[in-house]
Amino acid sequence: MEILRIDKISLNLEGRQILKDLSLSVKEGTIHSILGSNAAGKSSLAYVIMGCCGYLAQEGRIYFRGEDITSLSLSKRAKMGLTLAWQEPARFEGLTVRDYIAVGMKEKDDALIKQALQKVLLEPGDYLDREVDKSLSGGERKRIELAAVFAMKPKLAILDEPDSGIDILALDNIVKMIKELKRQGTTVLLITHRQEVSEIADQTSLMCSGFIVKEGKPKEMGEYFKERCIPCPTKIFPAQENGQAKGGKN
C-alpha cells in the first residue's frame, strides 16, 4: 500500500526551478531512498513534503495515506504522522535534550527517551539534562535529532542526510536505527548522497537537477550513481537535455 504519493510537483524559488514535474511513490513499511549529488534538490523535496514555509509546491499534489495534504500546514502534516529529521538540526537554548525529544511524543515517556538516546550511542545520563545548544557538537545534535524522530514513532519519517556529520563508528548504529524505525512500523524516506547508505533501502529513486530520473533496486541504482552520476561534470541527467526526463523512469 502506498503511504506517500507525489504527483508532478514543481517548485520555484527566487526565479529558479528547484523541482520539476517530480513524481514519487513510497510504499508503506519500506525504506525508500532518494539518492543524488549535492544540489540535486533532495532537501527541497523534503521541505515540500513536510510543508515548510516558502516550500509550497506551485504545481502538483502530495498525498499522504490517500489524503491530499498539499495545502496543509506543517503542524497538521506532523500531527498526521509525518516528520522530518533535519540535515542541520536547530539549536535550542534552554531546552534540554529530554524535553526536546519529548516534544513529538504523545505522552512523555522517560524510558523511551532513554532508549532512543541509547539507539544513537548517546549515554542518557550524560545527555538528558544538557541543553540542545551550541555546547553540543554537530554530530551530537544530529544523533539527538534521530533519537527524537525514533521516540515520536511517526508513520513516515523523512531523514535528510542522516549520515552526514556522523563518525564512522556511529554510522553502523544509525543504519541499525533506521532499520529499527522500519521494524517499529515507520516508513522511512531516506535522503542521502552516499551510495552505501542508500543501499539499506528497499527501493531507490535517483535524483538529479530537480527530477527523479531513475528508480529501481538500491544496488542497481547505487552502481548507476557511482558510474554515471558521480563523474558527471554537469550534474544534469543526460536525458533532461533533450527534454525526455519528466519525472518518470528512464
Query: Which residue's CB is nearer to other proteins, number 13 or number 230?
Result: 13
Task: Indicate which single residue of 39, 56, 72, 74 sits in contact with other proteins (rule: CB under 8 A).
Answer: 74
Query: Which residue's CB is nearer to other proteins, number 91 or number 249?
Result: 91
Query: Which residue's CB is nearer to other proteins, number 78 or number 236?
Result: 78
At its nearest, how many Å lie between other proteins and the CB of residue 164? 17
| Contacts to other proteins from residues 130-189, by CB under 8 A | 131, 148, 152
Q: Does 14 bind other proteins (CB under 8 A)?
A: no
Cα 231–Cα 242–Cα 227 angle in degrees, nearest 5: 20
Query: Which residue's CB is nearer to other proteins, number 148 or number 221?
Result: 148
| Contacts to other proteins from residues 89-128, by CB under 8 A | 89-95, 103-104
Query: Which residue's CB is nearer to other proteins, number 186 or number 240?
Result: 186
Distance CA 188, CA 201 (A): 9
Query: Which residue's CB is nearer to other proteins, number 79 or number 219?
Result: 79
- Cell digits of residue 16: 529558479
203: left (phi over 0), alpha (psi -120 to 50) or beta: beta
Q: Does 239 bind other proteins (CB under 8 A)?
A: no
Q: Are 22 and 45 in contact (CB under 8 A)?
A: yes
Task: Indicate which single residue of 52, 72, 121, 232 sits in contact with other proteins (rule: CB under 8 A).
Answer: 52
Distance CA 7, CA 19 (A): 12
* Furthest-apart CA atoms within the chain: distance in Å: 57
Instruction: Spell out where 73-144 has E strands.
Output: 82-85, 92-96, 131-132
Strand-pairing partners, residue 61, are 7
String of DSSP letters for 128-195: TTSEESTTS-HHHHHHHHHHHHHHH--SEEEEESTTTT--HHHHHHHHHHHHHHHHTT-EEEEEES-H
Q: Are 57 and 9 in contact (CB under 8 A)?
A: yes
Task: Indicate which single residue of 1, 66, 75, 243 sits in contact with other proteins (rule: CB under 8 A).
Answer: 75
At its nearest, how many Å lie between other proteins and the CB of residue 92? 5
| Residues in contact with other proteins by the rule CB under 8 A | 50, 52-53, 73-75, 78-79, 83-84, 86, 89-95, 103-104, 131, 148, 152
